[in-house]
Structure 1
Amino acid sequence: MNWEWSAVSDFMPKFWDGVGTTLEAVVLGSLISFALGLVWAFAMRLPTRFVRWPVGFITEFIRNTPLLVQLFFLFFVLPEWGISFDALTTGIVGIGLHYSTYTMQVYRAGIEAVPPGQWEAATALSLPLRRTWTAVILPQAIRRVVPALGNYVISMLKDTPMFIGIGVLEMLGEARLESADTFRFVEPVTVVGVAFIVIAYPASLLVRALERRLVR
């Protein structure tokens, strides 16, 4: 293998641009998935089936179709109906929407894990429903699900290379562009692979440490 450090140094400006795009997508996509997942979880607990059934169908459909297909739909099909976003915004919305169906299940598990006595105590104290959720249920539920949510953030990071399908130049996209210009594939792809490890591994250690702390 003919490794050239000069190819690495030439790639680094584009690489840092890709890192910024990747981290922006992960952070904003995570916020969307966390917020929307909680909305899905609340909707699935409503007593009326006219809300639960459509929400259940939509979330199951999203969860059981590939993320790349959803990105293509959002980027290439929605503009035919007059709805269009730039490539990065489409990627962020797509990955946030996709993972919200997984975080919904995490929230549901956390809510169901709250002991029934907590609900009974809130009822006995005549707490309003909003107060019951914000002061009693959600603080206990979210504490249980934080590690699982952290794992999904890492999964989002590893799924960002799919953005290249709609033209977003995240880390791998920048590497492929550099390789097409210079015909040097080893250096850019290797740098990106190492970068994913450098970012994801400390994040996984942080999630494990947080999980141990919450258990104590």
Structure 2
Amino acid sequence: MLMGIEWDTSSQWAFAISILPILAKGLLVTLQATAVGFIIALVLGLILASLKTSRLKIVAWPARFITEFIRDTPLLVQLFFLYYVLPEYGIILPAFMTGALALGLQYSAYTSEVYRAGLESVPLGQHEAARALDLSPRRTFTVIVVPQAIPRIIPALGNYLVSIMKDVPLLSVVAVLEMLNVAKIIGDRTFNYLIPLSMVGLIYLILTLVAAAGIRYLDTRLPKQGIPLK
């Protein structure tokens, strides 16, 4: 009896080791989708935040409407729209790019609010000093305001990075072979779901812990008064 249990345990370990290279390919796709989606969210979020803080209502109101619309609609709806509707108008994107774009669009609404809070936290005296030095609004924004806002928003942006990573499995609905989808396929073919899904859960736990440690490191390292520019 004990020998049978030992054999079964060793076979399970052998199975786990055998599927590890396949899961590693899915992990690479997961990390790539997370990185691309996060970059899109950072760029679009900053653009939306800049527009929302504009003194011109004709600029600020549409930006606020777009932000609310994106934030109040599910990610799956946006994903299906990009994947199934856009091709009807001649815009065809690869499944991976469609998924990464959907993630970036969804989280740009959240990062824009983080940016806005960070920009508004910069003391008004900094703006006045920039005007006294005859700096243009664009240079004031890029050289004075943004470097001081970034250290204050790192923790919040880091949280959204982790959230994007955990939402990547949703891309499986448009046939993106990310890690969870690969684990499901392995389970379908081997009728063993426990090991591949447990391995995916463990990998996600490790990734989350590593990301959290990196966020804490940046938060403690970056100067709170702003990033000095050469």
Which deviates more, 38-47 or 182-191? 38-47
Structure-1 separation of matches of 2:113 and 2:199: 35
Which of residues 200, 212, 216 in structure 1 aligns to 2:220? 212
Q: Which residue of 1 aligns with 2:167?
A: 159
- Report the CA distance between 1:213 and its aligned residue: 3.2
On the 8 A contact 2:151/2:219 being kept in 1, the answer is: no
Q: Which residue of 1 aligns with 2:78?
A: 70
What RMSD in Å do the two structures reach over aligned CA positions?
Answer: 1.6
- Report the CA distance between 1:23 and its aligned residue: 0.5
Count of aligned residue pairs for this structure pair? 216
Q: Equivalences for 1:80-95 in 2 at 5 Å?
A: 80-95=88-103
Q: Which residue of 2 aligns with 1:147?
A: 155
Question: TM-score w.r.t. structure 2 length?
Answer: 0.89
Q: 1:19 to 1:78 in 2, by over 3 A?
A: same
**Letter of the aligned partner of 2:123 in structure 1?**
P
Unaligned runs of 5+ in 2: 225-230
Structure 1 vs Structure 2: percent identity of aligned residues?
45
* Higher radius of gyration, 1 or 2: 2
Which deviates more, 151-160 or 200-209? 200-209
On the 8 A contact 1:29/1:93 being kept in 2, the answer is: yes
Which deviates more, 204-213 or 90-99? 204-213
- Report the CA distance between 1:68 and its aligned residue: 1.5
Q: Which residue of 2 aligns with 1:40?
A: 48
Structure-2 separation of matches of 1:149 and 1:193: 23
- Report the CA distance between 1:143 and its aligned residue: 1.9
What do the CA deviations read for 1:144-166 (whole angstroms, capped 9, x no partner)? Answer: 11221111111111111111111
- Report the CA distance between 1:25 and its aligned residue: 0.5
Structure-1 separation of matches of 2:131 and 2:59: 25
